[in-house]
Amino acid sequence: MTKALASGVDDALSALEKVLLGKRRQVRLALTCLLSQGHLLIEDLPGMGKTTLAHGLARVLGLEDQRVQFTSDMLPADIIGVSVFESGSGEFRFHAGPVFCQLLLADEINRTTPKTQSALLEAMEEGQVTADGHSYRLPKPFFVIATQNPVTQYGTFPLPESQLDRFLMRISLGYPAPEVERELLAGGDTRERLDGLPRCLKPDQLIEVQSQCRQVHASAGVIDYLQRLIQYTRDSDLFSYGVSPRGGLALLRCARTWAWLDGRNHLVPEDIQQVLEPVIGHRVRPADDIGSHAGARLVNELLAQVDVLG
Amino acid sequence: MRQISRAAVLWQLIAFIAVVLPHFGWLPWWLIGLCVGAPALRLMIHAGRWPFPHWSIKLALVVAVSGGLLLTFNRDTGMSATVALLVAGLALKMIEIYHRRDALVLLYVALFVAATTFLFYQSIGVALYVMLALGVVITALNSIFQNPMQNDMMRPLRRSGRLLLFSLPMMLVLFLLFPRIGPLWSIPLDRQAARSGLSDTMSPGEISQLTRSDELAFRAAFSDAPPLPSQRYWRSLVYSHFDGRRWTREPWEQRARLEDERLIDESSPVTYEVIYEPSRRRWLVALDQPAVAPRDYRLGYARTLVSDRPVDRRINYEVTSYLQYKLSPELLSERKRALFLQLPEAGNERARALADQWWRAAQQRPEPFVQQVLNYFRGDFSYTLTPPALQGDTIDQFLFETRQGFCGHYAGALAFLLRSVGVPARVVGGYQGGEWNPYEGYLTVRQYDAHAWVEYWQPAGGWVRVDPTAAVSPDRVEGSADQVFAQDPAFLSETPLARLRLGQDGWLAELRRRAEAINFNWHRWVLNYQGQQIELLKGLLGQLSMVKMVLAMMGPVALILAAVAWFQLRDRRRRPSDPISRGLTTILKRLERQGFQRHPSEPLHRFLRRVAEAAPEVADPLLRLAQADEAVRYAEDPGQRDTLLSAVKACQNALARNTSVIHKRIEDEKAGR
């Protein structure tokens, strides 16, 4: 059973890599995020393959997906759905919006107004939506993969900290390496390749994988290291504020999944180090430049300062 | 059964030579040969030229050495024989040094042999040398506990230097405060080591024998100026019995029954400390006249200072003497009178006749009589160390024929003359003079300062001192013996070199006095510390009590131990206590020295794998260690602890073995780059 699961996940990984050439690490991080039952934020310029990654993930995991392109004039009802009066039955009927799916791709989430953004918030956090006083449960599993343009771009509404915190990870894809790009240009249409992706896991298998990931053993040494990392973000002058307890739990969850993907049943410090930047990069801010998200720089500093062995 | 390193073997050789070297002065020649041969043999084995000797050769050596000891010391179980046995055993053990166990035996016995040096010599130089030898032995002891693969000679030296430095304060405290207890057992001292000194009989030639030796008799330290040379009469013995040839002391029972003599008038008190060399005799010295006996000693017969036991080690005591004094003129008891008038029934008739004649001329008063005798001596008598031998009526011969003599001749003759006319008289033996050392303020009195003079009794003034030698040779009393005798071939004939040493002027003499002053302090404050200790402790603590003594002892020792413990514990806190962590710390330190630095974010297993890639010599144990460490630390598999422990050990060993290889390759890589 476990072997079948592992090979299924491996298949999914290698299949995705064929679509997103040279992005092994990002693909694996994205998968880690979903297997950790978290929502993913992909921050990058347009045209870097954000949407491709989201679609690919949905396909290989066998999830029913929906895509919403966020715009500045969008209303919450455009996502959640709306109650419409039906003359035939003489009552209001709820017409479900695009959020009722297993994987919601929220494209350019920072293009829309805070009001609409916060409507998504409830869905992400509670797994349910409320319309006209009625609560509607969303299907399980439910993931949101949101993409956003860098905040410096024109016409964006930056996500507030509270909302950023709902995303388990934030990753960016970056430009491909030159040789990979040549291959990309010489190769066929991305759309076709995406359609050719196999379905590697069934939904119940996905849930099983998630539960196995939660059971990866975290030794006292690793927990200690993790705690010291978090403590450092709170004590150091480099950070304007430190990582919250929720951030710490998120870190542990992702590290466990990362270890499971490595085929290990125990955590090692490298697991934490690998997921550190994606997990806490959007949860901390440098003290000297509070407006920016210089996550990578801070994380490097953190790694250099906190000794693994204590 | 651990083998010791090659460097450690060399240290054993050095330690052995260091401890036996001072004994070369008295060891029999064949034992010296053995002491040189054994290390040479071991050195040949060390160099790989010769194999270790077969057991039959060793057995033959043991038999030969045992026989040699038996022959040389002839069943004498004295100190020299015992130490010679130890040295011989040490030399034989030297040959078969190979394991740590052998080296331990060797070094512990070597420490003992080093200590026995003090039974023979006690000078500062020897003390410094033995300290040095001790350092060498400690270094050798250190060297046998270092890794057998390590061949660094200097490492144990540095370490033992540190150890000795740390133990120095402890040593000082123990020296100052540890109570000096009498010996628990006594070593039979060698007979032949008897020393010269005053004896309890005085025949005319006796004292001149002493002038052949410049051996130290005693030293006296004065806090102020010393008494004038003419007042330096060191009273030691009183001879009261004359058998016609020699003066002797009364038997002990006779002396014990005599009444004490009391001082009735006293002035010019002078207090001084005497550091008295061992003489194997019971009598001591004090300036004429001692006031009261110092602690532990008593004022005996005719106010001479005595000890209850023979003086077999250097002692010191403090006395007060009155240079101007008068003894009680109470009438002598009959017994005493008879004692001090005793003469043989007959003999020396010419001298008796002359005395009678002078006695009448002096109108039977002692003072003019004594003046008359001294005038007679001032005539054509001479003072010499080599007087002609006397036979038969010795006094007559001396007074009328030879007319040459030493202090004993003059004192004996004067006492005889006084007694023959009925004036109680006695001969006093002791020392006269002493050389003043201005740097430390003490007088050095040597055996050649031995002297004899006379005391006679007069009804008005009690016992009065008169020195007939002063009449013959005033220089002897005003100056010093070595000036008077400088030209006499018999003077210091036993130690010819001493004549050179004893010059009075010039930089050489200056240097000698300074050296003697240092030596004097050494004797007084270090070797003879026993006496001062009680004074010092009294000064520090007030009235001494058992509790105070124990506290004063324990206080500093506890303080030092606490400091050491604190350092140790602080070290312990920094250093992990379980063997695995300790081993890992050592491994990391060693790798760091090799240039492999772990980045803070680098987990141990990853770091070890990185090093394994760079250092293929030790890759295997490193990789095994990495795996075991990960399993224990992160998978928390308790079953892997033993694996980890053995991996740590294996890794340590592998690193120790390959240190130089890795180092060399890294250097090469650097150079290649």
Residues B564 and B586 in one domain: no
Interchain proximity A308–B635, CB inside 8 Å: no
Residues 6+ apart with CB under 8 A from B210: B196, B197, B198, B447, B448, B450
Interchain proximity A303–B606, CB inside 8 Å: no
Is B53 part of a structural domain of the chain?
A: yes
Is A210 part of a structural domain of the chain?
A: no
Nearest C-alpha of chain A: how many angstroms from B656?
A: 24
Residues A264 and A164 in one domain: no
Residues A196 and A225 in one domain: no
pLDDT at A1 over 60: no
Residues B560 and B584 in one domain: no
Tell me the C-alpha distance between A286 and A277, whole Å.
Answer: 14
Residues A95 and A223 in one domain: no
Residues B498 and B568 in one domain: no
Is A188 part of a structural domain of the chain?
A: yes
A305 CB within 8 Å of a chain B CB: yes
Q: What is the CATH number of the domain that holds A85?
A: 3.40.50.300
Is B360 part of a structural domain of the chain?
A: no
Under a CB-based contact definition with an 8 Å cutoff, are residues A27 and A20 in contact?
Answer: yes
pLDDT at B499 over 60: no
Tell me the C-alpha distance between B249 and B70, whole Å.
Answer: 42
Task: Based on the residue annotation, tell me whether B407 is a catalytic residue of this protein.
Answer: yes
Is A208 part of a structural domain of the chain?
A: no
Under a CB-based contact definition with an 8 Å cutoff, are residues B626 and B643 in contact?
Answer: no
Phi and psi at residue A129, in whole multiples of 5°?
-125, 155
Around Cβ A307, how many Cβ atoms within 10 Å? 13
pLDDT digits (tens, 9 = 90+) for B46-105: 888 888 888 898 999 999 999 998 888 876 777 788 889 999 999 999 888 888 888 899
CB pairs under 8 A between A and B: 42
Tell me the pLDDT band of B110, cut-offs 50, 70 and 90: very high
Is B395 part of a structural domain of the chain?
A: no
What angle do the packed helices B29-46 and B6-20 form, to 10 degrees? 170
pLDDT reported for residue A292? 55
Instruction: Name the percent of chain A lying above pLDDT 90.
Output: 17
Is B529 part of a structural domain of the chain?
A: no
pLDDT reported for residue A21? 82
Residues B13 and B141 in one domain: yes
Residues B51 and B122 in one domain: yes
Domain count, chain B: 4
Interchain proximity A219–B633, CB inside 8 Å: yes
Q: What is the pTM of this model?
A: 0.50
Residues A171 and A36 in one domain: yes
- Residue where a domain stops, chosen among A170, A201, A232: A201
Q: Which residue of B has its CA nearest to A299?
A: B601
Under a CB-based contact definition with an 8 Å cutoff, are residues B23 and B83 in contact?
Answer: yes
Question: Taking residues A233-245, what's their average pLDDT?
Answer: 85
Residue A217 forms beta bridges with which residues?
Answer: A266
Sign of CA pseudo-dihedral B660, B665, B671, B673? negative
Residues B489 and B596 in one domain: no
Structural domain containing residue A252: 215-310
Residues B324 and B451 in one domain: yes
Residues A32 and A128 in one domain: yes
pLDDT digits (tens, 9 = 90+) for B645-663: 888 888 888 888 877 777 7
- Catalytic pick from B23, B241, B451, B523? B451
- Residue where a domain stops, chosen among B528, B553, B574: B574
A308 chain-B contacts, CB cut-off 8 A: 600-604
- Residue where a domain stops, chosen among B103, B126, B148: B148
Is B54 part of a structural domain of the chain?
A: yes
Is A308 part of a structural domain of the chain?
A: yes
pLDDT reported for residue B191? 43
Phi and psi at residue A223, in whole multiples of 5°?
-60, -40
- Catalytic pick from B288, B396, B467, B482? B467
- Residue where a domain stops, chosen among A174, A201, A228: A201
A307 chain-B contacts, CB cut-off 8 A: 600-601
Residues B316 and B278 in one domain: yes
- Antiparallel, parallel or unpaired: β B216-222 and B442-446: antiparallel
pLDDT reported for residue B204? 65
Residues B441 and B489 in one domain: yes
pLDDT reported for residue B454? 92
Is B36 part of a structural domain of the chain?
A: yes
Interchain proximity B601–A268, CB inside 8 Å: no
pLDDT reported for residue B192? 40
Tell me the C-alpha distance between B412 and B410, whole Å.
Answer: 5
pLDDT reported for residue B500? 54
Interchain proximity A268–B602, CB inside 8 Å: no
pLDDT digits (tens, 9 = 90+) for B119-164: 888 788 888 999 999 999 999 998 888 766 667 788 888 888 888 8
Residues A96 and A125 in one domain: yes
For A144, counting Cβ atoms within 10 Å of its Cβ (0-12 exposed, 13-18 middle, 19+ buried), the class is: buried
Residues B112 and B242 in one domain: no
- Residue where a domain stops, chosen among B528, B555, B574: B574
Residues B555 and B497 in one domain: no
Residues A32 and A179 in one domain: yes
Domain count, chain A: 2
Task: Based on the residue annotation, tell me whether B578 is a catalytic residue of this protein.
Answer: no
Going by the DSSP 8-state scheme, the letter that residue B426 receives in this structure is E
Is A134 part of a structural domain of the chain?
A: yes
Q: What is the CATH number of the domain that holds A288?
A: 1.10.8.80
B599 chain-A contacts, CB cut-off 8 A: 304
Is A289 part of a structural domain of the chain?
A: yes
Under a CB-based contact definition with an 8 Å cutoff, are residues B23 and B88 in contact?
Answer: no
pLDDT reported for residue B193? 42
Structural domain containing residue B564: 543-574
B633 chain-A contacts, CB cut-off 8 A: 219, 221
Residues A219 and A303 in one domain: yes
pLDDT digits (tens, 9 = 90+) for B157-191: 888 888 888 788 778 877 877 766 655 555 544 44
Residues A19 and A57 in one domain: yes
Residues A10 and A100 in one domain: yes
Task: Based on the residue annotation, tell me whether B651 is a catalytic residue of this protein.
Answer: no
Is A207 part of a structural domain of the chain?
A: no
Residues A164 and A71 in one domain: yes
Residues B593 and B549 in one domain: no
Is B175 part of a structural domain of the chain?
A: no
Q: Which residue has the tokens 């009449």?
A: B471
Residues 6+ apart with CB under 8 A from B166: B564
pLDDT reported for residue B113? 92
Residues A37 and A178 in one domain: yes
Q: Which residue of A has its CA nearest to B604?
A: A309
- Residue where a domain stops, chosen among A201, A227, A250: A201
Is B326 part of a structural domain of the chain?
A: yes
570-609 of B, contacting A, C-beta below 8 A: 599-606
B673 CB within 8 Å of a chain A CB: no
A223 chain-B contacts, CB cut-off 8 A: none
Interchain proximity B604–A308, CB inside 8 Å: yes
Under a CB-based contact definition with an 8 Å cutoff, are residues A82 and A42 in contact?
Answer: no
Tell me the pLDDT band of B492, cut-offs 50, 70 and 90: low
- Give the closest of A217, A303, A308 to B636, CB-based: A217
Is A91 part of a structural domain of the chain?
A: yes
204-233 of A, contacting B, C-beta below 8 A: 217, 219-222
